[in-house]
Amino acid sequence: MGADFLPEAEQERLAIVDPERLAAIIAAGTLCPTSLTFAAEHMGKAKDAALVVRTLTPLLSHESAYVREGALIGLWQHSDALPPDVVERVRRMADSDESPGVRAVAGDFCDDMAPRVDALTAPASAGPVVPMVATEVK
């Protein structure tokens, strides 16, 4: 990871007016961890959920716990657009990330997503339940 720094105000501005550029800066891997953390959080303000998810999902594996937290915060703003594999990854982070802070943020994220996760993992219904009526066979 490089040592470049991008002022937070510029990160926020880019997230709104040029999110593709902010995504490219994040993906380049040249920001210092502190700057990358805030960039990930601000990336969540972009309207293009697919771009946010593509940009921030790789950061869930970053060596810095602060960067992982920033990625979670950015993704949280687009939780309805997360594919099931990313939802499962957040759940695993809540259970087993080495950082207590990341576990806490991921746990809160999961609590917030609980209705969606429950809907994704609920067994498919075969339709409405129709009561059986016993009939006598002669």
Q: What is the pLDDT of residues 71-82, one digit of tens each?
A: 999 999 999 999
Domain membership flag for residue 99? no
State the residue range of the domain holding 32.
Answer: 8-81
Number of domains present in the structure of the chain = 1
Reported as a single tens digit per residue, the pLDDT across 72-117 is 999 999 999 999 999 999 999 999 999 999 999 999 999 998 766 5
- The helix or strand, by DSSP H or E, that contains position 37, with its residue range, turns out to be helix 33-43
Q: By C-alpha distance, which of 35, 94, 21, 107 is closest to 64?
A: 35
pTM of the entire predicted model: 0.80
